[in-house]
Amino acid sequence: MGITYRRLEQRDLGTFIQMRIAQLREEGAEEDIDLAPALRDYYERHLSDGTFVSWLALDGERIVGTSGMSFVEKPPYFACPSGRMGLLSSMFTAPEYRRKGIARELLTRVVDEARKYGCGTVQITASDMGVKLYTSFGFVKNQNFMQYRL
């Protein structure tokens, strides 16, 4: 297996979006709209302004793994005095490539991007499948997270 890694580029968005939707389906998300246009709009805007970065894993020319980090800022707090946070998303590896260290390498690369951006913390809403990876990497579960849907 000759896996290579590189950053996401605009030309990759079609495949990247397909893989993001596959990930959401696999995690059991309710699919009641065509999400592709909204994803394309988000990625195009945030790739161009530097507030979203992604590393890809490739086997030859085929994208077999994805990662994503959105950078947001909120008022500083004690655990994150910079106020800059990384929101981890789009962690997905094609089923036949799992358990080979690809997700860990992608995670390492996007966490490094968050560090370079000046983030004081990285957050993720982890799927059951991802919890083992994230905890072994050093992520700690936070029981305080709540969400209100508008």
The predicted-structure confidence for 18-36, as pLDDT tens digits, reads as follows: 999 999 998 888 888 999 9
pLDDT at 40 over 70: yes
| Percentage above 90 pLDDT, the chain | 76
Q: Measure the CA–CA gap between 52 and 7, rounded to whole angstroms.
A: 11
Asked if 120 and 84 count as a contact pair (C-beta separation under 8 A), the reply is yes
24: helix, strand or coil: helix
Residues paired with residue 53 on neighbouring β-strands, in sequence order:
69
Query: For 145, how many CA atoms within 13 A lie in the half-sphere containing its CB?
Result: 7
**Worst-scoring range by mean pLDDT, 19-23, 24-28, 55-59, 142-146?**
142-146
Asked if 65 and 56 count as a contact pair (C-beta separation under 8 A), the reply is yes
pLDDT at 52 over 70: yes
Lookup result for tokens 């968005």: 13
Q: Give the tens place of pLDDT for each residue, 92-103.
A: 999 999 999 999
Asked if 23 and 88 count as a contact pair (C-beta separation under 8 A), the reply is no
What CA–CA distances, in Å, run from 4 to 56, 63, 80, 129? Answer: 8, 10, 33, 23
Neighbour-count burial of 95, counting CB atoms closer than 10 A to its CB (0-12 exposed, 13-18 middle, 19+ buried): exposed
Residue 8: pLDDT band (50, 70, 90) is very high
Q: Which of 52, 54, 53, 58 is nearest to 102 (CA)?
A: 58
Asked if 35 and 15 count as a contact pair (C-beta separation under 8 A), the reply is no
Question: First CA to last CA across the chain, in angstroms?
Answer: 45
Residue 125: pLDDT band (50, 70, 90) is confident
Residue 141: pLDDT band (50, 70, 90) is confident
